Chains A and B, each alone.
Chain A
Amino acid sequence: MNRPLAVARIQLVAWPTAIGWPLGILAIAFAVNLLVFAAIAGEPADATTGGQASIYVVFFVTYLQSVSQVFPFLSGLSVTRRAYFAGTALLVLAQSVLFALLLLLLLGVEIASGGWGLGMDFFGIGYLRQENVVLQLAVYTVPFLAMGFLGMFLGVVFRRWGTNGMFALALLVLAVLGAVVALVTWRQAWPTVGRWFVDTPPLAMVAGWPLVLAVLLAALAYLGLRRTEP
């Protein structure tokens, strides 16, 4: 069998973990929100909730664990780093689109049922709402990609450089952010930054830039993996 395809399929062999957990946790978050909304029924119309984020977090953890557990396992079964990466990236892509389609479907139900009969916006929250179905799908898909590859990237950092690597990375991120804040403050450029956030179309904000981030993280994860000793 084609090696990357086999890698992807093997991670679905124990599918309850790969598919069941994200969906299960989403279902629980949804149920909890539904109960809360039912309890405060009739008070504020069109309230929103961030419960949908749970599925993205689980997605992140899934691929973090893939690198820390499935990668060394498959290395032990004579799989190359390239085949592991290709197969897992394929899985991230497929699963992102699949989950996004599911969210889209549930959004349709939500709209048709007037917010599950309670005016609850669980799937169509605020600026994530798009009128165009294709754009809506993109808005759902891209954050999955970003979270999946972020998980893989951090998994690779940990596999290759251990705890020290994770701390060094955290330090680096903090230093860069701190430098940016200092620079913006020094140049008194906060209004410009604020304007950029306002001017950037929501679509670019929730789909465009995260896509750039996802591609960047995927590339870094692959480069790191090439010289990792599992």
Chain B
Amino acid sequence: MIEVKNLTKQYGHHTAINDLNFSIDAGEIVGFLGPNGAGKTTTMNIMTGFIAATRGDVTINGLDIIAEPEEAKKQIGYLPDTPPVYGDMRVDEYLSFVADIKGVKRTGRKEMLTDIKQKLHIDDVSRRLIKNLSRGYRQRVGLAQAMVGRPRVIIMDEPTIGLDPKQIIEMREVVKGLGRYHTVILSSHIMQEVSAVCDRVMIINKGRIVAQGTPESLSHSLNKSAGKIQIRVKADATQVREALKEFTVIRHINVLESREAGTIDIELAGDEGVDIREPIFRCFAKNNLPLLLMKSMDLSLEEIFLTLTGDLRTQAMGYESPEEEVMQNDSDL
């Protein structure tokens, strides 16, 4: 569906993206994950034909975005990081303008627009001026714009930025729903978001893909603490050590600080390939020490992300809370 080959973009001497290669199949939901300034937006801007690459090709459904821009762009709906809405238009006016510029046929257009508005729950603001809408609604109008004309591919740059938690959950549902008909690419610097909706994740840092795969496989393959288990026992440290003495498969015991009065948290690791969960349960049961919690300590996507993208400074930048940009109203002349 989408082929990206040797994509490079340089701004003067600064290389924004460096020799990117990937392909995306029809119907996939793919997430670009990376700190701010990693090259996600640049990649998306090139894929949608907004800017041109220094080197490399992008083909959408077999159509080259540079050689056949008009046809290729018909296959794409794009929601940039700032929703490209006109404040002085009503939602309905705006969507039919978008349908016009995308060359959507008159027949069935009204039904399509109504359908999109219902899906995104913006049908109740159809007659409102966009400049009077809240950020969340504006974002959804932006997404509605991308869906107009039912393009095969929908590309979204940071679709949940600036939304409140309820809107974020709604937006995730919408994105999941899109996956049934469209191929979806979205970018984010928030891990939960990507792991919640995407079939595949590409972690981008400094203009390169540093890892890709399903959220689970990424988590699995990079899991340095594989097999580690954390437990919480209603006992003290000596009792636990006593109980675990006879327990030979345990390779590593680490007593963590107590989180709950009268209990103790312990990190345990067994030999490779040995499931120690059941023996642990039986061991503590035999010693009459109540086991209150047991969980495996997989690396979260967040930790993988930080491991891959490296230094702490990048981390700090990646986690700056997304300041909501105050949109200027169109009151100029």
Do the two chains bind? no
Interface positions of A (Cβ within 8 A of B): none
Interface positions of B (Cβ within 8 A of A): none
